[in-house]
Structure 1
Amino acid sequence: MSLIIREARAGDEAGWRRLWAAYVDFYQVDISEAVTASTWSKILSPDSALFLRVAEREGRIVGFALCLTHEGSWILGRDCYLEDLFVDASERGKGVGRALLDDLVALSKEHGWSRLYWHTAETNVTARKLYDSYVASDGHLRYRINF
C-alpha cells in the first residue's frame, strides 16, 4: 500500500472532483461547476501557473495539493502558494498530508522557488498541527474582499 505523489494527469479528474467536492463541503463554500471545470482546465494547461500534485494509493487519488507559482516584490525568484490541500477522510493520520507537503518542499528546492507558503482557518486544528511541525506561523493575518 505504498503512496505515490505525482503530477496530475487528465485521467485523474474524477478522483480529484470527488475530493474537491469533499473539500469545499468541509469549508462550507459553494463553488460553481463553471469554476470547478475552469480550475481543472487550468491544472492541465501548460500555460497556467496553477498546478496539482496528487497522492495516489493503489490507483486511487487519496489527497491533493493545488498550488500556483508567482513573482513577488520581495524576492528574486518565484513563490509557491499552496492554495488547497486535502486528504480523503479514510486516509487521514496515515502521512498523506505530510507526504504532499514534503513533495512541495522538494519541488520548491528543485525549481529554486524562494518560498512556499499557505493559509488555513484558525479553527482547523488538525491541519495546523501538521503545518506547525514544518514552520511557526509568521503572524500575518489575511484580509479578503470578494466581488
Structure 2
Amino acid sequence: MTVELRAATPSDQSDFRRLWQGFCDGYGLTLAPEVTDFTWGRLMDPGNALTLRLACLDGRPQGFAIHQHHPSTWVLGDDGYLEDLYVAPEARGRGLGRALIEDLVAIGRARGWRRLYWLTEIENAAARRLYDQFCDNDGHIRYRMTL
C-alpha cells in the first residue's frame, strides 16, 4: 500500500465528487449540484483561500482535507482551519485521516501558522478518537446563523 498526499488538480474532479458525495451522505446532507460545482470551482481557483489536499492509496484518491488559513486576533500570525476531512469507508483504518492532519500541520508550520483548528459533531466518536490524539477539544460550542 502506497500513500501519497498531494494538492488536488483539475483532473481530480470526478474523484473529488465521489468522495464529496460520501462525505455529504455521511452527514445526511443533500446539496444542490450548483453548490458542489461552486465548491469545486473555488478549490481549483488559486486566488481562493480554500485548498484541497488528497490522500491517495496506490494512486487513487481515497480521502481529502479542505482547509484555509486566516488572520487571527489571538496570536501573532495566522490560524489554519481544517474545514472538512473525509476518508472513504473502504480506506478507513489505514491512517489516511491521521496523515491528512499531519500534512496540514507540516504545511502550517512551514507557512508560519500559529494554530490549526477544526470542528466535528459531538457524536462523531470515530473522528474524535483520532482528534483526541492530536490535542484536547477547547470546550467551545459553535453557533451558526444562516443569512
- What interval of TM-score do these two structures reach, taking the shorter chain for normalisation? over 0.9
Could you tell which deviates more after superposition, 69-78 or 105-114? 69-78
- Tell me the SS of whatever aligns to 1:31: coil
User: In 2, Cα distance between the equivalents of 1:104 and 1:114?
Assistant: 12
User: How large is the Cα RMSD of the aligned pairs?
Assistant: 0.9
User: In 2, Cα distance between the equivalents of 1:45 and 1:69?
Assistant: 15
Deviation at 1:75? 2.3
User: In 2, Cα distance between the equivalents of 1:75 and 1:133?
Assistant: 23
- Tell me the SS of whatever aligns to 1:66: strand
TM-score after normalising by structure 1? 0.97
User: In 1, Cα distance between the equivalents of 2:70 and 2:37?
Assistant: 22
Give the ranges of 4+ consecutive aligned residues of structure 1 lying more than 4 Å apart after TM superposition. Answer: none
What's 2:121 paired with? 121
TM-score after normalising by structure 2? 0.97
Percent identity, please. Answer: 45
Does residue 1:99 correspond to 2:91, yes or no?
Answer: no
Could you tell which deviates more after superposition, 105-114 or 72-81? 72-81
Deviation at 1:76? 2.6
What's 2:73 paired with? 73
User: In 1, Cα distance between the equivalents of 2:25 and 2:77?
Assistant: 35
- Tell me the SS of whatever aligns to 1:54: strand
Runs of 5+ consecutive residues of structure 1 not aligned to the other structure: none
Alignment of structure 1 residues 76-91 onto 2, 5 Å: 76-91=76-91
What's 1:15 paired with? 15
User: In 2, Cα distance between the equivalents of 1:114 and 1:30?
Assistant: 35
Amino acid at match of 1:123: E
Q: Deviations over 1:49-91 (max 9, x none)?
A: 0000000112211000001111122223211110100001011
